[in-house]
Structure 1
Amino acid sequence: MPIVEVLTYFIRNLAMRRIDSLLGATFHGWVAPRGTKITLCILAVIAGAAINTDVVSKSLHLEIFRLEKDRWAPVDYGFGPGAGIGPARPNLVLGQTPAIPKSIRAVPKAMLGTAPIGGGAGGFFGPSVTWPIIPLHMALLPDGRVLNYGTGETGAQGAQFIYDVWDPSLGNGINAHNILPNGTSTDIFCSAASLIGEGPAVPTSLTSKMLITGGDLTVSGLRNYSNSVVNVFSPGNNTLTASGTMTYPRWYPSIISLRNGDKLVLGGEISPGVGEPTPEVYHPASGWRTLPGISIGDETFPYWYYPRGFLGPDGGVTLLQHNGKIFKITTTGAGTIQDTGSLMAPGMVSYPSVMFAPFKVLTVRAGQRAQIVDISTSPPLVTNAANLNYDRIWGNATLLPDGEILVTDGSGVDDALTSVVYQAEIFNPVSGTWTLGASAAIPRLYHSAALLLPDGSVLTGGGGAPRPVNELNAEIYYPAYLYLKDGSGNPAPRPAIVAAPARLTLGQNFWITVGSNDQISIINLIRVGTSSHSFNPEQRLIPVPFTQNGTTVKGSVDPAPEKIPPGYYMLFVFNTNGVPAVAKIVSVPQSVP
């Protein structure tokens, strides 16, 4: 798709989103008269064709700034826009499975490690549950809890006042949430986050803490500027503390974990419509340094908007630009950047990409296209995958522990209740095909997020702040592997990890104990995720070869730090029926300087 077509596609979606706003599309299910939208959209495309490239480029950058502005929208606590919070739900202990009448939206809580009845070949979305904020940032912690932040308790933009820590082991009611004050007063709305792993010898004061970089800034009463503040969240005491600054302010940055545990920070906006092209690197011991030898700037597209970077087999980072170009970055010294010459189909900032196997990335592009980028080759090899069933602007891609990819959320028009996609679809990398899954109840558009949990389910939540509905709610998707294959919709018996090490060293053998009747077929390591703005840069799967003797399973950790950078991983084991145990979260410490 030529760049002009993509720019037209972007303009068309912006035009249709504005049309929806003007016509009052603020409630679920509203549809404007077809002729009205088509006529206005055609006019927008014709107008767009007359704009020169420089003007279009600047307008794309500034349009994001303008459309981010918060405004009134109805609130949905999971019971419908404006309906308020529904009745209290009974609590269930860990391991209980609720029977869910299909005709009832409000149902008992599903606990970590359980799957509601009603699933089948396409999995099952549990009922929507009230959430204390819009969880537009989600991050899995080493203890299995979820740090989430982004708005206040009314759904208004801003994370300078509160954040939330959710404990899935306590269920999904309000008592499972710990709403805490942000004592730093830094607005971490639209920031980036990444867990700091262990050092090479012993845990340090920063081990297991969450690095949070940049975010929003209010200037003269006007939101959506940027800050350079660095914050650290400590899971041990649930506190957020300031920890210096970066050289450059960044709003919408990405953090990429490197082979030695350093954190590469890419992109971000420094002022309205102006991106930051120079990356920075954080080392837990020595702090920050800039990479003046690199400029990731490309004025054709908002290159700075949560750049899609992936750690490669040589320790460099491959950057998949929204416009389709692919660059190679090295981070030693001043850093280097090189255009690889490989090209993807053009995309947009609102489509997800995910590394689903070592050095292989599934990337969703414009026009429902999907491509696989193999970054282990030089130059990277781009191949077409089957098209998605739906266009998913602001969709989310979640790597499942069996190696498949769940894609949820989004709509056919940028952040509008038009062509909303409720149905999930799952990509099988072996067959290269998509399978349609279960349908959610809530439209999840811009500022939604999705996160794999240790029991193999997927938390999906948020949307709004701004437009069209402030979704203070979440749903949990239970994949098909959690259910019996007899069509009954009943949960399948799980295997169990009885004992496992807390730390794994690269290249080592390790032993785990499973249940007495558990025959294991697959073991995979899945890095714990951080999800926001249709991108989870931490996701990666590493297969673990193993042998089994009774209840003892001997596994071998891959020796390559490029495949397994320092950090925290969920250790998943599957039985011969394809059902996973609740994962153990293990630490992989730094192995190279």
Structure 2
Amino acid sequence: MTSTTIVLFLLLTSIVILLSSTSSQTLPPYSGFQGEWRLLQTSIGISAMHMQLLATDEVIIFDRTDFGQSNLSLPGRRCRYDPNDTVLRVDCTAHSILYHVNTNTFWPLMVQTDTWCSSGSVLPNGTLVQTGGYNDGDHVIRTFTPCLDGTCDWVEFPNYLSQRRWYATNQILPEGRIIVIGGRRQFNYEFFPHSSNYASSSQNFFSFRFLRETTDQSENNLYPFVHLLPDGNLFIFANTRSILLDYTQNHVIKEFPRIPGGDPRNYPSSGSSVLLPLDENKASIEAEIMVCGGAPQDSFSSASQGTFTSAVHTCGRLQVGAQNPNWIMEDMPIPRVMGDMLLLPTGDIILINGAGLGTAGWERGRAPVLTPVIYRPTEHFVGRFLVMSPSSRPRLYHSSAILLRDGRVLVGGNNPHTNYNFTNVEYPTDLSLEAFSPPYLSDEYNLVRPSILSTNGIVRYKEVFWVTFTVPEYLSVNVLSVRIIMPPFTTHSFGMNQRMVVLKLIGVTRLTPDSYYVTVVGPSKAEVAPPGYYMLFMVHAGIPSSGTWVNVQ
């Protein structure tokens, strides 16, 4: 049947539950439950500086090669021979692992060149493309393609990048390419794969004056915040300024007002940023950016002298499509620098990890913020922030966090030292992994929690598909939604490529007393949801299912 025939069939069937005809059901959000922490691994052998969840429910984790030896040996007596390494030229230890979420086990991988402070994106076929790093790794492209036989490992392409990419930011594009922006002393961007189709130029990189303009003596526009917008342009935030870039023409379309307060938000001030969920059920898709935390202008130099300034306590929201866009500011319950912002399946945002004093960089952070905070963007202005249960482990410089398909948040890392240092320091290197379970995972919500039974493995743009699911108690359609999340590449407090799309619902059909199928329309265009693997969640009365993987094409 065609998509039109399917829709008409559903609308004419007597057991269709119309979205507007069912009384609304609401639950008290998180009814006093503040989430809980669980230690997964006391040591994975490396510090989790970079993380990426793959569509195999495996997590690529890596740090840098020039720490010296890690605490995890490479298998089969393998060793890395690198005459350019600044610390250890023959190294028989791993600096990358593949963590298996479902079994809570991990396997060492071999990285040949230095990945320190690098970036990444996942291609539509599920391959991780990882870009740059330090020293002999700064021009390198590395790829990792998941496999079933356990033989997968990094494949490296030396000197592929046109420019040195250290502290750069990546973004997957609607056509499936990757743009790599900036890096230390790099006021330009380039693409993977290389192409001469952009800006009518045959060169492989393009000058970007905005990055030069936003750099100060501390170079604190590193890891700029980059978000692909539904109009196909890029929102780019560096320091306190932000612009709208047409990357196909290398043209800045507009500049937005500076974020109030004058405090920088990018490395080493290291705030964080997300693109709020894009909702296909609205007449027009509104893009809104949120930026939280950071450190005042002179925090880096002050910390170098032993004075640790309080972190930034504000968040700003900007509706980029408004006629006269202006930042709307809010106060966080806890000042935070080096915190990660992650989209949860509910559409809420968790702020996790970081410090209350100082800034990013070696030994420059103090007062660990052990307490996550959940921000509810659709709630009334007062009461949007919910304070969660604290962890017992500081996660400062070189820590990271990602959302897992089961709704937990995986957290690892913390190494504010130039090597692995476990003794006689205030914040020892941490090689552990732990998981935070947000309140929605509490057993008290099991009666209204949806469980996905099946769905299409491939979701096509503008095409109708189904999700079959169960709800143990009873279904209230007015508080039901289907949404997809692209997992981010997280490092240094920013989740590159992270986005959520709330898909358009047509109707819900009851199959049995507790099972249903919902009819959904795929994303409207690649600018809204670039091609690739997403986690699909159902959310009922504010409580999400576990996710399932779909490939958007």
TM-score range, shorter chain: 0.7 to 0.9
Sort the Cα spacing of 1:485 and 1:120 in 2 relative to 1 into closer, same or farther, 3 A.
farther
Counterpart position of 1:66: none
Counterpart position of 1:228: 139
Deviations 1:73-99 (A, max 9, x none): xxxxxxxxxxxxxxxxxxxxxxxxxxx
Kindly indicate whether the alpha-carbon contact (under 8 Å) linking 2:365 and 2:397 is maintained by their aligned counterparts in 1. no
State the alpha-carbon separation in 1 of the partners of residues 323 and 226 from structure 2: 16
State the alpha-carbon separation in 2 of the partners of residues 357 and 479 from structure 1: 18
Sort the Cα spacing of 1:120 and 1:478 in 2 relative to 1 into closer, same or farther, 3 A.
farther
Work out which of the residue numbers 508, 529, 546 in structure 2 matches 1:548: 508
State the alpha-carbon separation in 2 of the partners of residues 585 and 284 from structure 1: 29
Counterpart position of 1:132: 45
Q: More displaced, 517-526 or 138-147?
A: 517-526
Work out which of the residue numbers 313, 318, 334 in structure 2 matches 1:390: 334
Work out which of the residue numbers 252, 272, 275 in structure 2 matches 1:355: 275
Using structure 2 for the length normalisation, give the TM-score.
Answer: 0.73
For 2:502, the aligned partner's letter is: P
Kindly indicate whether the alpha-carbon contact (under 8 Å) linking 1:157 and 1:466 is maintained by their aligned counterparts in 2. no
For 1:469, the aligned partner's letter is: P
For 2:408, the aligned partner's letter is: S
Kindly indicate whether the alpha-carbon contact (under 8 Å) linking 2:346 and 2:543 is maintained by their aligned counterparts in 1. no
State the alpha-carbon separation in 2 of the partners of residues 408 and 492 from structure 1: 28
How far is the alpha carbon of 1:280 from its aligned partner? 0.6
Deviations 1:319-339 (A, max 9, x none): 1112x1111211114x12355
Work out which of the residue numbers 86, 111, 117 in structure 2 matches 1:190: 117
Counterpart position of 1:240: 154
Structure 2 SS opposite 1:342: coil
Kindly indicate whether the alpha-carbon contact (under 8 Å) linking 2:168 and 2:180 is maintained by their aligned counterparts in 1. yes
Whether 1:483 and 2:442 are equivalent positions in the alignment is yes
How far is the alpha carbon of 1:378 from its aligned partner? 5.6
Counterpart position of 1:436: 387
For 1:498, the aligned partner's letter is: L
Kindly indicate whether the alpha-carbon contact (under 8 Å) linking 2:395 and 2:413 is maintained by their aligned counterparts in 1. yes
Kindly indicate whether the alpha-carbon contact (under 8 Å) linking 1:421 and 1:443 is maintained by their aligned counterparts in 2. yes
State the alpha-carbon separation in 1 of the partners of residues 94 and 378 from structure 2: 46
Sort the Cα spacing of 1:150 and 1:523 in 2 relative to 1 into closer, same or farther, 3 A.
same
Counterpart position of 1:308: 225
Sort the Cα spacing of 1:286 and 1:417 in 2 relative to 1 into closer, same or farther, 3 A.
closer
Kindly indicate whether the alpha-carbon contact (under 8 Å) linking 1:255 and 1:264 is maintained by their aligned counterparts in 2. yes
Whether 1:406 and 2:350 are equivalent positions in the alignment is yes
Deviations 1:201-228 (A, max 9, x none): xxxxxx211111100116xxxxxxx611
For 2:103, the aligned partner's letter is: L
How far is the alpha carbon of 1:524 from its aligned partner? 1.2
Deviations 1:364-422 (A, max 9, x none): 1442011102222366432113x111121111111101011111111122355632211
Sort the Cα spacing of 1:305 and 1:515 in 2 relative to 1 into closer, same or farther, 3 A.
same
Counterpart position of 1:216: 134
Sort the Cα spacing of 1:286 and 1:149 in 2 relative to 1 into closer, same or farther, 3 A.
farther
State the alpha-carbon separation in 1 of the partners of residues 366 and 402 from structure 2: 25
Q: Where do residues 63-142 of structure 1 align in structure 2 (5 Å cutoff)?
A: 121-127=33-39, 129-130=41-42, 131-142=44-55
Work out which of the residue numbers 253, 278, 284 in structure 1 matches 2:168: 253
Whether 1:585 and 2:549 are equivalent positions in the alignment is yes
Sort the Cα spacing of 1:395 and 1:157 in 2 relative to 1 into closer, same or farther, 3 A.
farther
> Percent sequence identity over matched residues?
23
State the alpha-carbon separation in 2 of the partners of residues 304 and 566 from structure 1: 29
State the alpha-carbon separation in 1 of the partners of residues 544 and 228 from structure 2: 27
Counterpart position of 2:215: 299
Structure 1 SS opposite 2:458: coil
Structure 2 SS opposite 1:154: coil
Counterpart position of 2:424: none
State the alpha-carbon separation in 2 of the partners of residues 282 and 426 from structure 1: 35
Counterpart position of 1:39: none
Whether 1:177 and 2:106 are equivalent positions in the alignment is yes
Sort the Cα spacing of 1:554 and 1:370 in 2 relative to 1 into closer, same or farther, 3 A.
same
Unaligned runs of 5+ in 1: 1-117, 198-206, 219-225, 270-274
Structure 1 SS opposite 2:356: coil
Kindly indicate whether the alpha-carbon contact (under 8 Å) linking 2:453 and 2:467 is maintained by their aligned counterparts in 1. yes
Sort the Cα spacing of 1:167 and 1:128 in 2 relative to 1 into closer, same or farther, 3 A.
closer
Kindly indicate whether the alpha-carbon contact (under 8 Å) linking 2:235 and 2:244 is maintained by their aligned counterparts in 1. yes
Structure 2 SS opposite 1:481: helix
For 2:494, the aligned partner's letter is: F
Counterpart position of 1:8: none
Sort the Cα spacing of 1:378 and 1:250 in 2 relative to 1 into closer, same or farther, 3 A.
farther
Counterpart position of 1:557: 522
Sort the Cα spacing of 1:510 and 1:381 in 2 relative to 1 into closer, same or farther, 3 A.
farther
Sort the Cα spacing of 1:522 and 1:241 in 2 relative to 1 into closer, same or farther, 3 A.
same
How far is the alpha carbon of 1:310 from its aligned partner? 1.0
Counterpart position of 2:188: 278
How far is the alpha carbon of 1:295 from its aligned partner? 4.9
State the alpha-carbon separation in 1 of the partners of residues 494 and 256 from structure 2: 24
State the alpha-carbon separation in 2 of the partners of residues 413 and 128 from structure 1: 28
How far is the alpha carbon of 1:542 from its aligned partner? 0.8
State the alpha-carbon separation in 1 of the partners of residues 484 and 470 from structure 2: 19
Whether 1:419 and 2:367 are equivalent positions in the alignment is yes
Unaligned runs of 5+ in 2: 1-29, 73-85, 198-202, 279-286, 295-311, 419-426, 511-515
Q: More displaced, 297-306 or 424-433?
A: 297-306
State the alpha-carbon separation in 2 of the partners of residues 531 and 280 from structure 1: 20
For 1:430, the aligned partner's letter is: T
How far is the alpha carbon of 1:294 from its aligned partner? 5.0
How far is the alpha carbon of 1:465 from its aligned partner? 4.8
Counterpart position of 1:369: 314
Sort the Cα spacing of 1:502 and 1:211 in 2 relative to 1 into closer, same or farther, 3 A.
same
State the alpha-carbon separation in 1 of the partners of residues 271 and 403 from structure 2: 18
Structure 2 SS opposite 1:178: strand
Sort the Cα spacing of 1:461 and 1:293 in 2 relative to 1 into closer, same or farther, 3 A.
closer
How far is the alpha carbon of 1:266 from its aligned partner? 0.8
How far is the alpha carbon of 1:341 from its aligned partner? 4.2
How far is the alpha carbon of 1:492 from its aligned partner? 6.7
Counterpart position of 2:495: 536
